[in-house]
Amino acid sequence: MNQHIAMNTQPKPYMNPYLAGFLLGLVLLSAYMISGRGLGASGSARQVLVTAVGSVAPAYAGNSAFYSDFFSGSSPMMSWLVFLGAGVVLGGFFSGAISGRLGFKVERGPRITVRTRLLFALSGGLLFGLGAQFGRGCTSGAALSGLAVMSAGGILTMMAIFGTGYLIAYFFKKLWV
């Protein structure tokens, strides 16, 4: 009986990576054909941040060119990037739900505690948020989309991300294996 339940809650296996890549390629191609731009995620986070800071502390936001979008007239929330991000949320949830992967948990390497993992996740996110601004896009916006249209900047950023990752991977081995 117990075994039966365990069988039922076992998440479905992940999709074949090449098939997933092929499908993602088709989504990316449609994005370019329909809107003329690629996919991305960090852009929507920025729009949300700009809106939040602009609403809470307009005086502070008014001092920085970074928040100029907020004062450009139309709401930054009603933008392509934000709706794309909202779609990612819905699509991810839908996929997790049908594959039985929903559930609150912290994923970590075998040699670290939950607290360490969360601390490093926070600092990793901080660096990614900062780096995505310099790189004018994250792994999806700059690297993946850049590869599809063969943009020099995008491919350069991609090489920098993975090159750095491999260079320093050894020093952070404890986090993951």
Partner 1 sequence: MGLTANGILIMGPFIPQGIINPDLSLFFALLLGLGFGYVLEQAGFSSARKLAGVFYGYDFVVLKVFFTAGITAMVGLMFFSYLGWVDMGLLYIQPTFLYSAILGGVIMGFGFILGGFCPGTSIVGAVIGKADAMVFILGIFLGMFVFGHFYHVFEPVYTGHFLGHLYAYDALGISRDWFGLVMVLMAIAAFVITQMIEDRVNKAGPEITGQRPNYMVPAFLIIAAAFIFVLLPSERKSHLADAPPSILIEEVLNKQAYVSAQRIIHQIRNQRSELILIDTRPEAEYRRFTLPGAIHLTVKQIPERQWRGFFNDNSKPKVFFGNGSSGAMEAWMIARRAGYRNVHIMEGGLNHLFGLLFGEPTDSAFESQDMVERLDDRFLREARHYFLEGGASEKAAIPKPHIRAPEAREVIPVIGGC
Partner 2 sequence: MVVKELNAGALLLFSLIMLGVAFNLLTARNYGKSNQAVARLLSEDRLVSYMELSEICREGSQAGYLIVDLRPEDEYRAGHLPGAVNIQWDQILDRRHKKLIDGQRPVFLYADREHKSMAARVLLLGQGIEGVRVIAGNYATIKAWALDSLEPSKSFYHEDKARFDFPRYMRAAPAGSQQTAPDTPLVPGADAVTPLPGGC
Binding mask 8-37 for partner 1 (x = CB under 8 A): ------xxxxx-xxxxxxxxxxxxxxxxxx
CB 47 within 8 A of CB 82: yes
Task: For residue 22, give Cα distances in angstroms to 9, 17, 49, 96, 148.
Answer: 28, 9, 32, 20, 13
DSSP, collapsed to helix, strand or coil, labels residue 13 as coil
Within residues 9-28, the interface with partner 2 by CB under 8 A covers: 16, 18-19, 22-23
Pick 59 or 168: Cβ nearer partner 1: 168
| 83 in contact with partner 1 (CB under 8 A) | yes
Question: What would the two tokens of residue 70 be?
Answer: 């907020």
Within residues 37-76, the interface with partner 2 by CB under 8 A covers: none
| 120 in contact with partner 1 (CB under 8 A) | yes
CB 76 within 8 A of CB 45: no
| 57 in contact with partner 1 (CB under 8 A) | no
CB 148 within 8 A of CB 29: yes
Smallest separation (angstroms) from partner 2 to the CB of 150? 18
Pick 23 or 122: Cβ nearer partner 2: 23
Chain positions contacting partner 2, by CB under 8 A: 16, 18-19, 22-23
